[in-house]
Amino acid sequence: MQNTFMQRKEDTKRSWLTLDASGKTLGRFASEVTKVLRGKHRPNYTPNIDCGDGVIIINADKIRVTGAKESQKIYRYYTGYMSGMREIPYRIMMEKKPHYILEHAISGMMPKTRLGKAQLKKLRIFKGPTSGMPTQQTTAVNI
């Protein structure tokens, strides 16, 4: 009889991966990042333990979308005041906050639990080709 392996939190060895977003499609790239953050890329994945790796994304301003999303996609948020619904088109959001586009897509794919929020804290997104974490030991991965 085969026993199911359940990893303990103390046995988890984390590493940081550097991913380059230049030329990648938004949704496909976000789903791969979500897999790494949750730990599903590892053979010892355990659903109730935070066994994922940290992710540093560079070149967030070079991510692309397909079809007519560049002219039609809209990011909405509510300020909390009456008639406070704000809508920002994709192009303007890309000029002002390119890191928000990736963060929004990745957080939408993560579980909405305490564990999902803890896993999302291991995500760092940078606009340019260099990360602001020079002392961090990272592994460059090509997805």
Q: Looking at the domain assignment, is residue 8 inside a domain?
A: no
Residue 68's pLDDT is what? 96
Closest CA to 51 of 95, 15, 93: 15
Helix (H, G, I), strand (E, B) or coil at 59: coil
pLDDT band of 135, cuts 50, 70, 90: low
What is the spatial distance between Cα 22 and Cα 17, in angstroms, rounded to a whole number? 16
Q: Give the list of residues 6+ apart from residue 125 with CB closer than 8 angstroms, or none.
A: 57, 60, 99, 102, 103
Q: Looking at the domain assignment, is residue 1 inside a domain?
A: no
Question: For residues 48 and 1, which has the higher predicted lDDT (pLDDT)?
Answer: 48
Residue 7's pLDDT is what? 84
Q: Averaged over 45-70, what is the pLDDT?
A: 94
Q: Looking at the domain assignment, is residue 32 inside a domain?
A: yes
Residue 12's pLDDT is what? 86
Residue 29's pLDDT is what? 97
pLDDT tens for 18-52 read: 999 999 999 999 999 999 999 999 988 999 999 99
* Whether residue 9 has pLDDT greater than 90: no
Q: Looking at the domain assignment, is residue 126 inside a domain?
A: yes
Closest CA to 133 of 143, 142, 122, 117: 122
pLDDT tens for 94-127 read: 999 999 999 999 999 999 999 999 999 999 999 9
Q: Looking at the domain assignment, is residue 132 inside a domain?
A: yes
* Whether residue 137 has pLDDT greater than 80: no
Q: Looking at the domain assignment, is residue 137 inside a domain?
A: yes
- Structure token pair of residue 109: 């794919």
Q: Looking at the domain assignment, is residue 78 inside a domain?
A: yes
* Partners of residue 77 on adjacent β-strands: 86
Query: What is the residue range of 40's domain?
Result: 15-141
Q: What's the number of domains the chain is made of?
A: 1
Lowest mean pLDDT among 28-37, 88-97, 127-136: 127-136
Q: Looking at the domain assignment, is residue 88 inside a domain?
A: yes
CATH number, domain at 31? 3.90.1180.10
What is the spatial distance between Cα 1 and Cα 68, in angstroms, rounded to a whole number? 53
